[in-house]
Amino acid sequence: MKTAFIFPGQGSQSVGMGKDLFDNFAAAREAFEQADEALGFSLSEMCFSGSEEDLALTANTQPAILTTSVAAYRSMIANGFAKPDLVAGHSLGEYSALVAAGVLDFADAVRAVRKRGTYMQEAVPIGAGAMAAILGADLATIEQACDDASEGKVCSPANINSPSQVVIAGDADAVDRACEILKERGAKRAVKLNVSAPFHCALMMPAQERLAEDLSGLAYGEFGCPIVHNVDAAVNSDAGLVCERLTRQVSSPVKWMQSVQEMVKNGVATMVEVGTGKVLSGLVRQIDRDVRCLNVENSESLKNTLDTL
């Protein structure tokens, strides 16, 4: 039975994240120090004791979550964890997964996601776009409602998180219309999200085009273990495909439910969420209750997970 390491994305951040790892593990300290050097400012200070407002800015959130995840992963390996059979990450988390797999250099990844966050934030004027979580409606119903609500604007599934949770994104008025339609068609809830931009939809094409140039200039190493990509929920161990997958990811829906199902199909029975929070563990339980979910976000959870494994 195989083990996969899964890495969280934006939304899992909180002030203080990574501090316990930094205090207890040399490998974690090194990761934060490398990130500070790569960015030219103290990301570690922002993570440990900064303001929630600063940490919530997309250009800060993305390198902060990446660094905390890599710090956790390096601490795990330094303390005797076996390397995973597969890796995957939710949106931004795919960069953490690629660092763990040995494909992306960590400093390159930190700088890339800092730019990614900036480009995504700047792609759409504040307030022009929106995202909403749809609970208790199937994907086909949601897709049809988005089509019916679009009226020439953008509205589409952005995060296919679980059988009971799909996030939609697009122009704010189209997302509002889709929410009303879905309530009429039996969705349990349609909740607008407090986000700074409508991620993973066609409105992100300007960001995708800007990021494509940066990603094409990076070096991609060989895979230490395969990844399941967001855009196609397919297993990949060809480094030559990574740039295109990461580029397309910016405006494409995150197929998280299908990615988890693909990992299970490939023999994964245990998934370890590496980084801050337990958002992905909760989604995995909604997708397949037979999968054992563990997590590592601090020294205590690292010890408990290592003991369990």
* Residue tagged active-site, from 12, 44, 75, 91: 91
Asked about 90 being catalytic, the answer comes back as no
**Of 12, 96, 162, 200, which residue is the catalytic one?**
200
Closest CA to 5 of 106, 109, 101: 101
Q: Is 44 a catalytic residue?
A: no
The residues assigned a catalytic role are 91, 200
